[in-house]
Amino acid sequence: MVNVSMPIGVLARSVGCKVQTIRYYEDIGLLPAAGRTAGGQRRYGETHRQKLVFIRHARELGFPLPAVRELLTLADQRESECAQADRVARRHLDSVNRRIAMLESLRAELELMLTHGHGNRIRDCRVIATLADHRLCTQVHHAEASGS
């Protein structure tokens, strides 16, 4: 593999991300530190670009940074068992499914609020009444989905 030396701006454009993102990934150790020119300018190679593509794709799929770190480590250990990567992906899928269930609960509660007991005045408004009195909610777990 040819290790072409490129400045950070070229790397950022080649993968469609911001320069600050690359610096952040370097700072937290997800991306290996770049080499430097005599003038101190960062220089990146094809290996950096490939790792950055990997990181960006994992983040687009919603993997949290610790999972991305774990997957990058596994990707560098080509002879490791794939089951380890499967476990990371399974954990993430389980998390996504929990969030979907919570969001579906939120949607149901909001639909209920909007379809029951509309009043012409705020004093008769189901939305305001439900927000003021949690006992009017039918979905008991929706607070978890909102980050409360």
What topology does CATH give the domain 8-76? Multidrug-efflux Transporter Regulator; Chain: A; Domain 2 (1.10.1660)
pLDDT for position 116 = 76
Q: d(Cα 64, Cα 13) in Å, to the nearest integer?
A: 23
Which comes out higher in pLDDT, residue 110 or 8? Answer: 8
What is the CB neighbour count within 10 angstroms for residue 66? 9
Q: How many CB atoms lie within 10 A of CB 17?
A: 18
What was the pLDDT predicted at 4?
A: 65
Q: What is the pTM for the complete model shown?
A: 0.77
Bridge partners (DSSP) of residue 42 are 36
- Hey, where are the domains in the chain? 8-76, 82-145
Question: How would residue 140 be classed by pLDDT, with cut points 50, 70 and 90?
Answer: low
Q: Is the pLDDT of residue 84 over 90?
A: yes
pLDDT at position 3 = 56
| pLDDT for position 1 | 43
What does the buried/exposed string (b/e) look like for 69-106 if buried means 16 or more CB atoms within 10 Å of the residue's CB?
Answer: bbbbebeeeeeeeeeeeeebeeebeeeeeeeeebeebb
**Residue 35: which H helix or E strand, with range?**
strand 35-36
